[in-house]
Amino acid sequence: MNSWGSFSFNYILNEQPRVYEMASYMDITSDAEVFVYAKKALTSTVNIDPVVFILGMKYKS
């Protein structure tokens, strides 16, 4: 599994409102084998590469 993990930023606009963002990525690879009646019927590689972005605003009172 290769990934660059995640990174985030927080911006303070003035004393109360703040903006934040976060991004993350993971490189997931898995090998799958399917057996039918105890014999290998299929071999495949499954790639799942999610990228997640979050953007938000919070108000600190």
State how far the Cα of 57 lies from the Cα of 35, in Å rounded to an integer: 50
The per-residue pLDDT for range 1-54, each reduced to its tens digit, is: 555 667 777 777 777 788 888 888 888 888 989 999 999 999 999 888 888 888
Specify the pLDDT at position 34: 92
> What pTM, to 2 d.p., does this model score?
0.51
Give the length of the chain. 61
Specify the pLDDT at position 5: 66
Specify the pLDDT at position 50: 86
Are 17 and 2 a contacting pair, CB within 8 Å? Answer: no
Specify the pLDDT at position 2: 59
Are 45 and 33 a contacting pair, CB within 8 Å? Answer: no
Q: How far is CA 6 from CA 19, 21, 26, 34, 38, in A?
A: 17, 11, 9, 34, 42
Largest CA distance in the chain: 67
Specify the pLDDT at position 42: 92
